[in-house]
Amino acid sequence: MNKNQFAKAVAIAAGFTFLCAAPGLALEKSAPPVVAQTNATRPGTQQKKDALPADDFAGLNYTDAQKAELDKIHRETESRKEMVVKDRQLNSDQKDAMLLGYTRMEYAQAFKVLSPEQQKQVRQRLLARKASDQAAQKKQPPRN
């Protein structure tokens, strides 16, 4: 990988980080950001502190076409993630940023595949989890 390709990879990672930090700028106002950790359901994987649970899409009844499209999205994302993990020129922070960016992209693409009713269900789950997280955060004593 030459220096230009490395610079592009770093720029992409920085772009993903920016999109993650400012989700309101990257998505429509009517659709809240949809993100989750793809490794959350796999045994033996450890979630990061900022990772979101993958159950936002759980329990939805997918059509065969949706299943095929979701599988395609997942396979493409996993191949991109594997390339990032194997890249020896990226440091740990860069890899983490790119992996998180790919995860967020995967869930944004998956959200677009859903029907309007399914999207509504996912939004409701996100809002319920956000309210629950805020309530739990208020109950925690302030850190000194």
User: What confidence tens digit (pLDDT) does each residue in 76-128 have?
Assistant: 999 999 999 999 999 999 999 999 999 999 999 999 999 999 999 999 998 99
- Paired tokens of 81: 């993630």
CA distance 125 to 78: 25
Please, what is the Cα angle at 81 between 79 and 87, to 5 degrees? 105
Query: What pLDDT does residue 91 have?
Result: 93
Q: How long is the chain?
A: 144
Query: What pLDDT does residue 95 have?
Result: 94
Kindly give the interhelix angle for 64-86 and 92-113, rounded to the nearest 10 degrees: 170
Query: What pLDDT does residue 70 have?
Result: 93
Share the mean pLDDT of the chain. 75
Higher pLDDT, 6 or 111: 111
Per-residue pLDDT reduced to its tens digit, 25-46: 344 434 444 444 444 443 444 4
CA distance 91 to 65: 38
pTM equals: 0.57
Kindly give the interhelix angle for 3-21 and 92-113, rounded to the nearest 10 degrees: 60
Query: What pLDDT does residue 7 have?
Result: 60
Phi, psi (degrees; rounded to nearest 5) at 30: -80, -20
- Paired tokens of 122: 């996912």
